[in-house]
Structure 1
Amino acid sequence: MTIKVVRGNPTPEELAAALAVVRARAAAAAAQPSGAPEPQDSWADPSRIAAQGVPRPGPAAWARTYWPA
């Protein structure tokens, strides 16, 4: 795995923290069974919007009905 800093001048501590996060995510992905479904992001979960109720009609109603895919 290669990580390249394209902007800025991070300190060694900042690089170590970023690398720890990347390695932890990679380890979690490797530990997941190959046939398991991907966990769905809670922001994209349609039940999040459905729990808020039906939006009221109005000029900005379209923004409240958007369901990300």
Structure 2
Amino acid sequence: MSAEGRPFLQVVRGDATPEEIAALVAVLSARAAAASAAAGGGTRRTSAWADRSRMVRTPLPHGPGAWRHSALPR
């Protein structure tokens, strides 16, 4: 049987109720999510459109003739 056909969890002994299996799956899912977040898998990149630093104006140039360059696009 292929790896996709095998069950992820299997009750070997006892008679687990559906509630007990659901609780076990919830705990394992939460633990896997916490492990992936700790490994850096939970970080999201901010898109350039949503980046607030785009709204911050760059410093104006200093020195002679700086007033001319302050309005020119770079």
- Length-normalised TM-score, structure 1: 0.44
Which structure's relative contact order is higher, taking Cα pairs within 8 Å and 6+ residues apart? Answer: 1
Larger-gyration structure (1/2)? 2
- Length-normalised TM-score, structure 2: 0.41
| Greater helix content | 1
